[in-house]
Structure 1
Amino acid sequence: MLYERPTDDSLYQALLDRDPAFDGRIFVAVRSTGIFCRLTCPARKPKRENCSFHESVSTCLQEGFRPCKRCHPLSAGGDPDPLIDQLLTALQADTSRLWREGDIARLGLDPSTVRRTFKRRFGMTFLEMARISRLRDSFQALSDGDRVIDAQQAAGFESASAFRQAFARLIGLKPSDFKADAMLKADWIDTPLGAMIAVSDASHLHLLEFVGRKALPTELRALFKATKGSLGFGSTAPTERIAQELEAYFSGKAAHFSTPLAYHGTPFTRAVWDALRQIPAGDTRTYGALAASLGKPDAVRAVARANGANQIAIVVPCHRILGADGSLTGYGGGLWRKQKLIELEQGYRSA
């Protein structure tokens, strides 16, 4: 399951040397810019701590990085599917464009075929990919205190109503639903596995989810309702703390999270989440083993439901649960992320 390749330090040296040996096979994603490149890119070299390395264009796109306009990584290695290549190139040419199925049809492509192809390849449709790309900058603008109209323009929307609708589809709430003096604050955190949204109050983290997860809008609406609308944009001390701990986690420095958590669930659900946190990084369990550890060996289905209801990803490590046969099972953030998290944590096994 683990993919053997040169170390990241070796790949970073290859980036500095613009070594063509990895051209089309390895790509560098730069957290500080949100851009991914070929290792032969002529652009100014990023700092080592801002770089992560990936084996495919699709992984970079899934993690929320945009293709570089200098080295054109979408063409590197010759994408074998011309349909995907055509649409990704069009998206790169105009990231602010509001795509609809009619636009795809006018390119001579079948929307249903495009939908299936992108879903199979990237875990999201082309329209979802384009929407997330457009809304990323708007969320950050709102988090920085900008006006809604500024965020709308940052996302490339000419229509205020279209912006509100697109934002609500991704987040579950309209920009106007968020309040400046709210108890809970929502902020955007970039990680090597894609963007996440963190929601915290002054003392606890309430939610940490990957952008694009289907349950995210529902979870945010539930928090909004529970706080009677006291949800806003911005960062708090727990958000800043979890961002630092995630950076240490993904860099291989530490798999321990000490940010205080606020659970939203029944006593049984909370007990399951606590049990998940007792699984050491690098280890996995089955639903049956987790149920047995709680003294409820017949509650496998209830444990599975509680596992799926987790809304604090990575910190409450529901990704460490496998099927009874050892296979990957459903993961709200996508099975490709679950695989990456399990592989990453192999490095913590002996730590």
Structure 2
Amino acid sequence: MLVTQPQLIDDFYKALCERQPSYVGSFYVAVKTTSIFCIATCHARKPKKENVDFYTSIDDVVKAGFRPCKVCKPLEKANEMPLMVKRAVELVKTDLTQKVKDTDLKANGITPETVRRWFNKHYGMTFQSYARMMRMNNAMKELDNGKKAIDTAFDSGYESLSGFNEAFKKMTGHSPNNEDGKTIILIDRLTTPIGPMFVCATAQGVCLIEFVDRKNLKQEFEELQQRLDGVMMAGENEHIKQAKAELAEYFAGSRQQFDLTLYTPSTAFRESVWQGLRELEYGTTTSYLQQAVKLGNEKAIRAVASANGQNRIAIVIPCHRVIGKDGSLTGYAGGLARKKWLLEHEAKFLSQ
């Protein structure tokens, strides 16, 4: 929405002039003289206060007719992982058998409080919870490869087998020697030219690819866990690795179709709508009406639109290719700015 409170406008303009990183994602500044919008840390020359408007969402600033700045790249960097957080994550991944304590972070020039705040905001968990999940995922792989539970426990940084068993059961719903637990849904984060995304996968396949700032994402995670009778855990498997590789190729313009194995159990109708979306050719568009007609029921437009909105696999199940019957952009969970970017991206590489 457009910011109209004078005090808030003053605060945002001050943050813009000082390039305060803590305000990134809190507002988008629209420069009326150039028709571009930026984030708080943009290094472009600062406009005069009377020449800017402030918005709290990308969708609203795009609807107002502004385009993203090529200097600060607001679509990509508004929710980007800060360098300090990246370094903390790398510390965990470097040796998954060891705990990373606050003293370890400080020894590497990392402020624990900053990392904790970022993880609470973007993952809904503490950094230590994330690290424990990564270690447990590694332990599960070792157990699957035949390693003994007691050896896995001590090699994963636990002081006793009982402590490891308790933590394992708390995260997975079963003991290390019992496979009748909840479905493990691994979650990891990747960076794209239009913003960071979460990718989730089970052993069966990829079950979610979403932009991290999608509205109601927390509810979507809860619904996914309920439908799959699963529990989410930070980690990575072969499906997630393949998703990252194929999405990188898509954004580079070298991939037009995806070969990912998807795991998206739902109602028969929704699955038919999603399958229809997967059959849409790269660089083409359709409408809700055309989707409904293809399914044999032209009156099912609202049901089709609802099914599109329930799609959890952004880009790979390309609901961004659905536009209004008059050719206008329609709602997109990732934001209209991203939808416009994706359509232009595909049109550019299709023409080549």
Fold shared, TM-score > 0.5 on shorter chain: yes
Query: Is residue 78–residue 195 contact of structure 2 (8 Å, CA) maintained in 1?
Result: no
Q: After superposition, where does 1:185-224 map in structure 2 within 5 Å? A: 185-224=186-225
Matched, 1:280 2:247: no
* CA deviation profile, 1:214-273 (whole Å, cap 9, x unmatched): 132122222334455532112111111111111111111121100100114211111100
Q: CA deviation at 1:75?
A: 3.5
Structure 1 pair 220/156, CA: closer, same or farther in 2 (3 Å)? farther
Match in the other structure for 2:338 = 337
Find the residue that maps to 1:313 and give its secondary structure.
Answer: coil
Are 2:158 and 1:158 aligned?
no
* Conserved 8 A contact 1:173-1:220: no
For residues 57 and 214 of structure 2, the distance between their equivalents in structure 1, rounded to whole angstroms, comes to 19
Paired AA for residue 267 in structure 1: A
Gaps of 5+ in 2: 1-34, 64-73, 138-171, 173-183
Contact 1:206 1:261 in 2 (8 A): yes
| 1:80 paired residue among 32, 42, 47 | 47
Please list the CA deviations of residues 123-158 of structure 1 after superposition, one character each: whole Å capped at 9, or x if unmatched.
Answer: 9xx9xx877655964894597358586599898563
After superposition, where does 1:85-104 map in structure 2 within 5 Å?
Answer: none
- Which residue does the alignment assign to 1:170? 122
User: Which entry has the higher C-alpha Rg, 1 or 2?
Assistant: 2
**How far apart in 2 are the matches of 1:308 and 1:79?**
38
Query: 2:303 maps to what in 1?
Result: 302
Counterpart residue type for residue 308 of structure 2 = N
**How far apart, CA to CA, are the structure 2 residues paired with 1:84 and 1:264?**
50
Equivalent residues of 1:132, 1:212 under 8 A apart = no
* Contact 2:92–2:99 (8 Å) recurs in 1: no
Conserved 8 A contact 1:171-1:216: no
Give the deviation of 1:318 after TM superposition: 0.2
* Corresponding position: 1:312 with 2:313: yes
For 2:271, give the aligned amino acid.
Answer: R
Q: Which residue type is aligned with residue 194 of structure 2?
A: L
Aligned counterparts of 2:303 and 2:318: Cα–Cα separation in 1: 17
1:287, 1:300 within 8 Å by CA — same for their partners in 2?
Answer: yes
- What amino acid does structure 1 have at the position aligned with 2:309? G
State whether residues 186 and 233 of structure 2, in contact with CA within 8 Å, keep that contact through their aligned partners in structure 1: yes
Identity %: 32
Q: Which runs of 5+ in 1 are unaligned?
A: 1-54, 68-73, 86-112
Aligned CA distance change for structure 1 residues 332 and 156 (closer, same or farther; 3 Å): farther
Where do 1:134-149 residues align within 5 Å? 137=86, 140=89, 144=93, 145=96
Matched residues, number: 251
Supply the distance in 2 between the matched residues of 1:248 and 1:297 (Cα, whole angstroms): 36
Q: Distance in 2 between matches of 1:122 and 1:339?
A: 10
Equivalents in 1 of 2:113, 2:51: separation in Å?
A: 27
Change (3 A) 1:158 1:348: closer
Preserved CA contact (<8 Å) 1:203 1:237: no
1:344 alignment partner, SS class: helix
Look up the match of 1:90.
Answer: none
In the TM superposition, what are the counterparts of 1:24-103 in structure 2 within 5 Å?
58=38, 74-76=42-44, 78-80=45-47, 82=49
Secondary structure of 2:314's counterpart equals coil
1:302 Cα shift?
0.3
Distance 1:289 1:240, change over 3 A: same
In 2: Cα distance, 1:289 partner to 1:143 partner: 48
225-234 vs 246-255, which moves further = 225-234
Query: C-alpha separation between the residues in 1 aligned to 2:312 and 2:101?
Result: 30
- TM-score, normalised via structure 2 length: 0.59
Distance in 2 (alpha carbons) for counterparts of 1:193 and 1:324: 26
- Match of 1:194, SS state, is coil
Q: Report how far residue 285 of structure 1 moved.
A: 0.4
Report the TM-score, using the length of structure 1 for normalisation: 0.59
For 2:189 and 2:336, the matched residues in 1 are separated by 22
CA contact (8 A) 2:207 2:313 kept: yes
User: In the alignment, what sits opposite 1:7?
Assistant: none
Kept in 2, the 8 Å contact 1:196–1:210? The answer is yes
Matches of 1:136 and 1:297, distance apart in 2: 49
Asked if 1 retains the 8 angstrom alpha-carbon contact of 2:62 and 2:336, the reply is: no
Cα distance, 1:308–1:84 mapped onto 2, change above 3 Å: farther
How many Å separate the matches in 2 of 1:156 and 1:84?
37
* CA distance in 1 between partners of 2:303 and 2:101 (Å): 45
Separation in structure 2 between the aligned mates of residue 211 and residue 83 of structure 1, nearest angstrom:
32
Counterpart amino acid of 1:170?
A: H
Deviations 1:152-209 (A, max 9, x none): 989856399x73xx64553456664874246221111111111111111234101101
Deviation at 1:348, TM superposition (A): 4.5
Counterpart contact for 2:120–2:126, Cα < 8 Å: yes
